[in-house]
Structure 1
Amino acid sequence: MSSSPLRQHDPASVDHATSPDSPEPDTQARNDYDSPWKEALELFFPQAIQLLAPDLYALVDWAAPIGFLDKELQAIRHAAVPSKGRKMVDKLVKVRLLSGHPAYLQVHLEVQGRLATEADFRAFSWRVFQYHTLLQIREMRRQSLATPPPIYSLGILIDQPGVEEPPVTQLVHRDKYLSQKTEFVFPVVELRQWANRLDDLDALAPHNPFAVFVMAQIQASRHPDKATRLRPLIDLVRRLYGYGYDRDRIGQLVRLVEWVIRLPTDLETDYLQAARQLEQEHEMSYVTIAERVYTQQGLKMGIEQGIEQGIERGIEQGIERGIEQGQANLLLRLVERRFGAQADDVHEKIRSANSAQLEAWSLNFVDAQVLDDVFKD
């Protein structure tokens, strides 16, 4: 831990005029970071803990299965005092320690940037303490325990440009009334601590994919104006190709990187050209902005070809069937590009589908991890 001062919070002293429970004004520059963070934590949870909380990482038996407890977390949310205004990502994960005992890891992510006021820090600390306590009570009741199981709470703060204070490394929820006192201390990671250490992250990235995701978040924070993000995005994708990951891992990471470093529509064509060049240099392909743009262009071409075929036949049915054939041909090419050559039954399934089915499968394809994901309802 660094030598940053320990922040102390007394809930009784919250200034309600500046409380984060008051809705914040909407801003055009706001980004949707919660969804990519949720996915990144699920895909790379051990690597995230290794990077952000190495002391904890050393205590966990990562060879044992880990469980994401979404239902349990939902029950805790229902029991908690509602949090208004600011958006957060909460993850609850069950792991096994090297000692053989189970433990619970709580991860609380502030997704709207660094907490700006003392009231923000108080509210954040109270929320983490509240979840920690409710989880203790729930597990003690469920398992008939006399004392709570090990629970580790970690706060993550996405940085905001222009903040000059030293990064916070710990927060305290403190409640004192007369002679009684409650104090809850938990570690916090501010991504600002990595902002000037991109070379360190770059060195870690070949062995820790979550370092790539953190690099993407830092670049997004450095470039809140999306019109300035093209070069940082291309540079990070180029680095990613050099880390030695296989095709599937690169596909996962590029999708997350693009998700965080979101481009305006008018820059996607420039990115498409650069991405295709990188694909050719490394003889590897993936489905990203580049291929989504390609998909849109291909669908347009398929529609145009279908109209031409239909006009030649002079019948409306020919136009419709031509459009479907263009859609089917494009989807089949994409499927085989990602998943390899397919059997005749897959070809037949795609070619015999109607336009609505092909459109739904094309949307499924963007995020599909296995072939069955393409054809799900």
Structure 2
Amino acid sequence: MKRQVDSAWKDIIEELFYDFLDFFFPDICKDVDFSKGYEFLTQELTKIVKDNNIGKKYIDELVKVFLKDGKETWLLIHIEIQGYKEPNFTQRLYVYNYRLFDKYEKEIVSLVILTDEDKNYKPNKFVQKRWNFKIEIDFPTIKLLDYENRLEELENSNNPFGLVVLVQLISNKVKKDVEKKYNTKLNLIKKLYQKGFAKEKIILVLKFIDWLINLPKDYEQKLELEVQKYEEVVKMPYVMSFERIAEKRGLKEGLKEGLKKGVKRGVVKGVKKGVKKGKIIDKQQTLIRQLFKKFDAISIEEKDLIIKCLDKDKLNNALDEIIFADTKNKVLDCLKDI
């Protein structure tokens, strides 16, 4: 379970980094020039983190960003997952920070997210002093528990991390009651569908919900049927039930096919097919993002049209058209049969 929660946080931060920064650290987000891109520096951080025992309680992410003033900054993000205090936590932050600075000579800004349930625990500085000598670093700390009185705000947020925080807070309260977990999970999924996010964001938040709120197999099957019914009502197929059920069914069918036709040939063919499909999905997701950025809104019907288009050339034409188009229809017309 711990590994699943780690992966859930790590994946959603890496895939939705702008949303993460905008939700938790908006002042920092305003200074970052996202047009220049950003880079997760996994290898650089791994070289610094030598004590594996420390790493078991925390997720650490190191991200290189460029600021609007032209400078380069590295953000060192620490997320406490285990849910209890570590006596040397602030010391660890200080050590990571100075080791990274010493090795790479880059500006390092440490940021902290705490998921524990101790209202009195909110470390935000490291201090070491003796006589007239003093070392001190302050770091921004976000305590998820502080959002407990802002649940309505989280539900109404247009940022996917509003739901992410809501999921984390609720999952802490429904750990053992299976019936309550089931109802909570179903309600959270419905709230997610009502947001109108792009498909890739929906799937990422779904995975986060799925990993934080585990259900027994019979309840999981019941949930999938209920979600499938709801998808039909809101006209949003292929998101949860398609992605998850088809994935499970496809894996079984793929194994049978592989045994019949030869594992090696089946794997090669599967990889090629997967890569091709992945490129199409990437183009679809890029088009949805670009339309949303340019026109500030995109309807479910418009998303459906994009996701149903599997023609690479049509998607490329639409991506080219968006540069000059003054209406969404001019872009979406590229996807339709003439």
Using the size of structure 2 for normalisation, the TM-score is 0.71
> Post-superposition shift, 1:67?
0.6
2:39 matches 1:88: no
- 63-72 vs 175-184, which moves further: 175-184
**2:21 paired residue number:** 49
Change (3 A) 1:178 1:109: same
- Give the conservation status (yes or no) of the 8 Å contact 1:111–1:157: yes
Unpaired segments of 5 or more residues in structure 1? 1-28, 141-148, 303-322, 329-349
- Give the conservation status (yes or no) of the 8 Å contact 2:12–2:204: no
- Give the conservation status (yes or no) of the 8 Å contact 2:80–2:116: no
**2:168 paired residue number:** 217
Q: Distance in 2 between matches of 1:351 and 1:96?
A: 50
2:5 matches 1:99: no
Q: Distance in 2 between matches of 1:33 and 1:89?
A: 10
**2:139 paired residue number:** 186
- Give the conservation status (yes or no) of the 8 Å contact 1:255–1:287: no
Q: Distance in 2 between matches of 1:85 and 1:60?
A: 28
Q: Distance in 2 between matches of 1:172 and 1:107?
A: 15
**2:107 paired residue number:** 150
Q: Distance in 1 between matches of 2:97 and 2:251?
A: 50
What is the CA deviation profile of residues 138-174 of structure 1, one whole-angstrom value per residue up to 9, with x for unaligned ones? 122xxxxxxxx432101111133xx4x3562x52212
2:101 matches 1:129: no
- Name the one with the larger helix percent: 2
Q: 277, 297, 306: which one pairs with 1:371? A: 277
Higher relative contact order (CA 8 A, sep 6+): 1
Q: Distance in 1 between matches of 2:38 and 2:231?
A: 34
CA RMSD of aligned residues (A): 3.4
- Give the conservation status (yes or no) of the 8 Å contact 2:8–2:207: no
Change (3 A) 1:84 1:295: closer
- Give the conservation status (yes or no) of the 8 Å contact 1:201–1:215: yes
Q: Distance in 1 between matches of 2:139 and 2:156?
A: 28
Q: Distance in 1 between matches of 2:71 and 2:219?
A: 51
> Post-superposition shift, 1:96?
0.8
1:262 maps to amino acid: N
Change (3 A) 1:137 1:370: farther
What is the CA deviation profile of residues 104-154 of structure 1, one whole-angstrom value per residue up to 9, with x for unaligned ones? 101011110142xxxx2x4111111111101111122xxxxxxxx432101
**2:294 paired residue number:** none
Q: Distance in 2 between matches of 1:363 and 1:264?
A: 32
Using the size of structure 1 for normalisation, the TM-score is 0.64
- Give the conservation status (yes or no) of the 8 Å contact 1:268–1:290: no
Change (3 A) 1:245 1:201: same
> Post-superposition shift, 1:364?
12
Rg larger for? 1
Percentage identity across aligned positions? Answer: 27
